[in-house]
Amino acid sequence: MFPEGTGPAPDPAGSHFERRIRSFQPRRSRVTTGQADALKRLWPKWGLDIDGQCTLDLAELFGSDCPVVLEIGFGMGEATAQMAAADPGTGILAVDVHTPGQGNLLNLADRNGLSNIRVANGDAIILLREMLPPASLDGLRVYFPDPWPKTRHHKRRIIQPEFLTLAATRLKPGALIHCATDWEPYAEQMLEVLTAHPDFENTQEDGGYTPRPAFRPRTRFEGQGLDKGHVVHDLLFRRMQPETAGPGETTGPGEPGDTAAPGKTARTGEPPTAP
């Protein structure tokens, strides 16, 4: 659909990385004229493909003093745009594989003057593992991920111990991971694996779910679920201070302190102007 460099690539990582069980599946739907126009105009400025071939410089993407939150799966981007507007001093690196949603979010950002959004196309695991430096994120948001309700598909759910271990290496101490789902069995699994993980602690003293924070807008998708009688659960956990390696010890691969940086530095777009 888009000439190289002018829009999201259909398979940005290609065959560079091992095949694994995916936590997402591409959704095919028609790209509107407005979405296609936004992608062609704004992708070179605010978009990036997750090819796993370079390390992103978040200071160049968003500005040197801008904290950055990673959002995995933003749908059509309405909630992302609202959060960006409410907190212009925070950069949002929003990841999805849905082309109409990518175009819609770019259009919303452009129309509302939101220079603190960058849209990433591809696999969030490759982004975390290959393209983000250790301790570079100030937060992680995973709102309404695919619940994969069938038992045989539970292994595809993104909130798993291995994912949390990877995410912990990219989050600064004190950073928040915020999950939300309207699928109660998945909420129970999220709470179980987050509670058991040694790198995170629940912000709720009772060890349970948190009331929906005011900064997370109620989405259209969420409203549809509530109309059907679904119960939405929010989970808010904090990245704990990692233990310092003792004499003769080293940090594990990909953990803060690991000096092996994959690839070269990448730059996409210009730093945002002050709001």
Contact assessment for residue 42 and residue 106, using Cβ atoms and an 8 Å cutoff: yes
For residues 172 and 134, what is the distance between their CA atoms, to the nearest angstrom? 8
Vertex 60, ends 268 and 49: CA angle to 5°? 30
For residues 250 and 245, what is the distance between their CA atoms, to the nearest angstrom? 6
For residues 177 and 124, what is the distance between their CA atoms, to the nearest angstrom? 15
For residues 31 and 39, what is the distance between their CA atoms, to the nearest angstrom? 10
Lookup: tokens for 235: 């989970």
- Rounded to the nearest 5°, which phi and psi values hold at 174? 90, -10
For residues 202 and 28, what is the distance between their CA atoms, to the nearest angstrom? 37
For residues 162 and 204, what is the distance between their CA atoms, to the nearest angstrom? 23
For residues 207 and 201, what is the distance between their CA atoms, to the nearest angstrom? 9
For residues 170 and 242, what is the distance between their CA atoms, to the nearest angstrom? 12
Q: Which residues are catalytic?
A: 146
